[in-house]
Structure 1
């Protein structure tokens, strides 16, 4: 499957909503914003937020799109940026229907090129709950460097959890 990433557009609300609700069972376990009552209004607010954040340079949220059908297959993002140190955090998820097809890794590779070559970032961090095997597997497939488990790194379901920390730098994807 050929995919591309692109910034959110104001017309993405309904497609994004469909993408999220298709995958509630898969995503809801790990993403608190993804719940059984997720609404079209929440999707439209996210699209608006993503466009505003992009315009301000605070974070860069992308949709993952199937090149043939233009269907939204998930999202990848660089957020929690620290401009002084030229680093950011990588977030990602894909629809349940495309799990195991390499969609997430393909999209992230495009995002990494943008983050390192266009934004000039020098480090991307990935923080994953230890039990989130699918997201940990994505980090491994990217050949991200595992740096250890950080205690109380992520606040999830009203309590702190330890998370695995991975990193990527430009040289990891062939950018010097």
Structure 2
């Protein structure tokens, strides 16, 4: 997969991370710790420029070798960095991947995560050729659960010990998307 790949939606530009994104990424993480840290263990006060550089480099390698696809999210009209969304844990055996996302706190509750997830799901099904996407959220992460449902993902189960935390495994809520979930609804049938 090319690392110059781009997706666009109504308000967003989604693309692989570039080295030039480092300071925007770092600033978004530092300003969003309060809302993100309960769910993302890497989001902490000590997250450094070195951490951001290492993550961007790893992300670029993931794209190069089709291991996972991390997208930097930008508002199209202002080029403001908004957050990140990704397809990871790609499985050839089940032809699936896991979708994750986070939005900087100043841009939350504006539908950006839903819009990003819809664009990435379309990319996953049409470009990568996947047949299933899973979204796993912490049981208390209502914002991510609302995003999953708004993206038309279906709740499947509470998966025991699904998420690893620094305190050990915890349960996660499992949602899934398949290609038909994104298909437009059929027009109502009417008799002549």
Q: Shorter-chain TM-score: what band?
A: over 0.9
Deviation at 1:108, TM superposition (A): 0.9
Deviation at 1:37, TM superposition (A): 1.1
2:184 maps to 1:166: no
2:30 maps to 1:21: yes
Contact 1:14 1:44 in 2 (8 A): no
Q: 2:117 aligns with which of 108, 111, 117?
A: 108
2:130 maps to 1:125: no
2:144 maps to 1:135: yes
SS of corresponding position for 1:92: strand
> Where does residue 99 of structure 1 map in the other structure?
108
Deviation at 1:149, TM superposition (A): 0.4
The structure richer in helix per residue is 1
Deviation at 1:122, TM superposition (A): 0.3
Contact 2:152 2:182 in 1 (8 A): no
Contact 1:2 1:66 in 2 (8 A): yes
> Where does residue 70 of structure 1 map in the other structure?
79
C-alpha separation in 2, matches of 1:34 and 1:129: 15
Deviation at 1:78, TM superposition (A): 0.2
**Structure label with greater radius of gyration:** 2
2:164 maps to 1:155: yes
**What TM-score results when the alignment is normalised by the length of structure 1?**
0.96
Deviation at 1:88, TM superposition (A): 0.3
The two structures, once aligned, show a CA RMSD in angstroms of 1.3
Contact 2:96 2:131 in 1 (8 A): yes
> Where does residue 6 of structure 2 map in the other structure?
none
* Segments of 4+ moved more than 4 angstroms: none
Task: Please list, as runs of the form range in 1=range in 2, the aligned pairs for 1:38-57 lying within 5 A after superposition.
Answer: 38-57=47-66
Q: Summarize deviations over 1:88-135 as a string: whole Å, max 9, x none.
A: 001000010111100100111111111100000000001111011111
Gaps of 5+ in 1: none
Count of aligned pairs = 175
Gaps of 5+ in 2: 1-9, 185-192
**What TM-score results when the alignment is normalised by the length of structure 2?**
0.88
2:70 maps to 1:61: yes
Deviation at 1:16, TM superposition (A): 1.1
